[in-house]
Chains A and B, each alone.
Chain A
């Protein structure tokens, strides 16, 4: 998808936000026109929100796309000038968001996927000192087996309570879940629903700590 300068300015809000960015000693309007045709060719800007602190600063992911609109590579990630919270600003972490996916290789300067990113599911057998690559189906199948084994062998369906009566409690105390504050809402929601339907009560996220 080709992006015209007009579209670029519209999406980045460079014109409207120029006042704010001038505040930072950086005139986006001038830059935007100077870089037209060079820096904006094949550029797709996509708005996102920073994954670090919870201020909610908007970031703009600039990527190169092929003629069919398919993602080719990352160009840069910068503050979203439209976002009213940060108006284009970014702290050092926000400004380094490019590295979350890609880096410039030491020595060659070549743009490559961040080598620390794990690209395949990995399995560590009991007692082993190494990872083994596995495919998704194998992994999910094994995990589902473990969940079922542990849940079924530890499940408390009914319990006698203080007044002598019996109530349904449907819980397992042998499975625990931790984390999730970096998930999107939709993901956190399905995780909450899944864990509770499995009967998990050891359910905790970073809000606690």
Chain B
């Protein structure tokens, strides 16, 4: 979330798309209802199915799964055509006025630079026109036909209301009502929030769906303001933290690209040049020279100009004394991934299925239920030599080798069946402690990092995951001993000193390293602005720097703070836990004040978060350091950037241009600078917006598994219920919850039920080109057939939270879903595929 859960109370209008917030993030709904009660806020719900969220909304409208860009593209057009955009905001805080290279173009669903042979874009034309100093050319009048605003207007001209509704199946009058209601937040004294979840991301256009949100919110002036923002309702309690710590192949901690096996990654200085925006062509050959350039500042860099400090501090934290200025701070220890390979979830299982992976760690995860095309993913596990599963329960993945795991509801020659004797995988199951049987922090969806204390002992011999990793690494280090082999150096020299004086793992030692310490005295680094790239600071993940502070002779871990006060009344609660970055509760909050830095938006003084105060001290110890940003939230801005500096009106400090991007320049995305509608991989219709059916930049893993409409005429999607969580391992094993929601079900419309002779409660079989599952039919009015460009099309929805273990059992819906993912994030297309349904 750019904002946070409590902030939802400050909104004037909420657009919930691709999320069943009332059911899956119930507390978010409570704050929205508060906004309605206290501010008269409107709640809009857009979803293929009428849900508990719709029931609480002021306005509900359906759309066909996988057509969000059409829906939002029409909204962008509506905002522009009716001049509902927040003009001052758009001109000053976005790249609307930036001129784009003449070579940039769009035809027949393809942006300029399409490389047909390699099926990818050359993005060099997706760039700004620049002056001799490399600074972008602009036209603040927004009239130049090459400016972003005009190009965007032209791009979305095709997204008229009739065309949109033909694609999405949304009733026209409802669509208009949504447009009118949400776009009213373009008024300077109004803000609107967008909430989304996996209904938006789990598509072959997932990242572009969110880009479309970004365009809408920037046009309406809703970013960086209370009650606004783009707010991902994330699904796992610490998925935010796991992302921050870079448990993802493409980044290292703190959102820096992970290094690859290419010349521009070959040593630390090449890597710094590559990952620091604006540094590509600068004259430097070593860190000392680079430091001077950073000190002086260089254009098109933004806050990421400091990347070298984050990288070197991380290396220092990981490799301690072995990381020296003389050896690139052991940069060469880091694994360099193959630039030609993808290592994401789907790719991992494809490689495993080909027998390329020997050993797998499963850390509280359950792909046999939750992975796309889970029949295939389960088969992939049989090709492993060994697998380690760390969990509270022996879940479906831990027991993929049992007889039970290979039961299927119908005989299907395309679906593998195996017996334990045929499966050679050695499996190690390590029992983990539950959340309240251990201690540590978690970052919730609004980036609040809160401490969880230990309230009970772990059951039996189960152990906290920290204990497990700590002991395991000690064993591994023992096995490598004092090896002098070059390839063993990363293990031998990795710092691993987390034991207290009694030999128990000490979480505060981990926390200190994660948040950063000064190498000289071991005291916490008080914020990432104080990190250095000379080896004097160590910090595991720079975005957490500042969470540990030294006060009154001891270290204070701020996530433990429990002071409820809310001086601003905006729900900021600055001393409840800690939020990254730097305890900032709403990011881009420079946008909550007019370009002059002082005046609130007309009529909106109460929601101003920060301001420029020419008399405030930037440095409390220096009486001459006059002029600083101050406010009720921690300013998301360089404190000393005053009106004399060009960056004064550039609130998006993580971007090289400092502006919100209506046009995503250069290599920001793989599939285009503007979101464009493409059909899901498995679609019941053809794309009427352009000549490409599927997002051209998507990798198709299994072309032979594409289901077609003649055989599979119904759209399938998956979802969750409040009683169960994710794959159900953590809920189907709890008697109270298993009793509340005991069965695997599929929801279908009365119309489809009638066609198929299915009644409520019947056992049915749902099939796709990848498998079959059995479920209990739940016939409701909540799904309605769609009219898609004159075609009558059904959609059904399955719970994906069932498996063969636990008190409540059923078939995993993901035996049906495809192995295909988004062009950028590789998030699987769980939410739109083709199937058929029949009575069992």
Contacts and interface: CB of A to CB of B under 8 A. Distances in A.
Contacts of B449: 185
What class of interface size applies to chain A in its complex with B?
A: 35 or more
Interface in B340-368: 343-345, 348, 351-352, 356-365, 367
Contact of B462 (A49, A56, A119, A155): A119
A118 B365 contact: no
A201 B335 contact: yes
A37 interface: no
Nearest to B245: A188
Contact of B437 (A101, A141, A204): A101
A2 B504 CA distance: 27
Contact of B429 (A123, A146, A190): A123
B348 A179 contact: no
Nearest to A191: B469
A55 B29 CA distance: 11
B236 A54 contact: yes
A184 B241 CA distance: 8
B421 A101 contact: no
B320 to A, nearest CB: 12
Contacts of A188: 238, 241-242, 244-245, 247
Nearest to A144: B475
B420 to A, nearest CB: 4
A57 B446 CA distance: 12
B38 to A, nearest CB: 13
A157 B487 contact: yes
B392 to A, nearest CB: 6
A30 interface: no
Nearest to A203: B249
Interface in A177-207: 177-207
Interface string B370-387: 111000000000000110
A205 B498 CA distance: 24
B386 A120 contact: no
Contacts of A120: 431, 460-461
A52 B441 contact: no
Contact of B442 (A113, A119, A185): A185
A204 B344 contact: yes
Interface in B448-473: 448-457, 459-466, 468-473
A162 interface: yes
A180 B242 contact: yes
Contact of A209 (B233, B370, B422, B724): B370
Candidate in B332, B420, B465 with the most chain A CB atoms within 10 angstroms: B465
B357 A208 contact: no
Interface centre among A50, A62, A93, A150 (most CB of B within 10 A): A93
Interface string B259-282: 001110110000000000000000
B334 interface: yes
Interface residues of B, number: 166
Interface stretch (B221-229, B611-619, B780-788, B821-829): B821-829
A108 to B, nearest CB: 13
A200 B358 CA distance: 12
Interface string B419-447: 01111111111110011111111111110
B476 A184 contact: no
A208 B460 contact: no
Contacts of A53: 24-25, 233-237, 445, 725
B491 interface: yes
Nearest to A51: B435
B731 A93 contact: yes
B240 interface: yes
Contact of B362 (A144, A145, A179): A179
A201 B236 CA distance: 23
Contact of B363 (A47, A179, A196): A179
B486 interface: yes
Given A49-B442, A186-B507, A125 B453 contact: no
Interface in B475-515: 475-476, 478-480, 486-487, 490-491, 494, 498, 507, 510-511, 513-514
B332 A168 contact: yes
Contacts of A48: 435-436, 452-453, 455
A52 B434 CA distance: 12
A125 B363 CA distance: 20
Nearest to B807: A116
A128 B576 CA distance: 51
A103 interface: yes
A115 to B, nearest CB: 9
B840 interface: no
Contact of A169 (B335, B461, B478): B335
Interface centre among A57, A84, A147, A167 (most CB of B within 10 A): A84
A65 B318 CA distance: 39
B654 interface: no
B839 to A, nearest CB: 31
Given A116-B733, A119-B460, A176-B361, A202 B249 contact: yes
B333 interface: yes
A4 B237 CA distance: 33
A185 B544 contact: yes
Contacts of A55: 5, 25-28, 233, 444-445
Interface stretch (B586-594, B637-645, B734-742, B759-767): B734-742
B559 to A, nearest CB: 8
Given A182-B238, A199-B335, A118 B392 contact: yes
Contacts of A203: 246-249, 343
A8 B818 CA distance: 52
A207 B239 contact: yes
Contacts of A180: 242, 245, 247, 363-365
B493 to A, nearest CB: 9
B27 A189 contact: no
A179 B243 CA distance: 11
A190 B317 CA distance: 11
B261 A140 contact: no
A194 B726 CA distance: 26
B393 interface: yes
Contacts of A195: 247, 361
Contacts of A177: 247, 360-361, 363
Given A48-B453, A123-B429, A208-B344, A86 B27 contact: yes
B71 interface: no
A106 to B, nearest CB: 8
B434 A205 contact: no
Contacts of B338: 173, 201
A32 interface: no
Contact of B476 (A89, A92, A144, A174): A144
24 contacts: A47-B451, A56-B237, A56-B450, A74-B456, A89-B26, A91-B27, A99-B736, A103-B734, A124-B429, A127-B422, A146-B385, A146-B426, A155-B487, A167-B266, A168-B336, A171-B337, A173-B351, A174-B356, A182-B435, A199-B490, A201-B337, A203-B246, A208-B344, A208-B826
* Ranked 7 nearest A-B pairs via Cβ: A119-B460, A56-B444, A184-B440, A179-B365, A61-B455, A46-B455, A99-B734
Given A93-B737, A119-B462, A129-B403, 8 more contacts: A51-B435, A53-B237, A56-B444, A183-B241, A184-B241, A193-B494, A194-B494, A209-B830
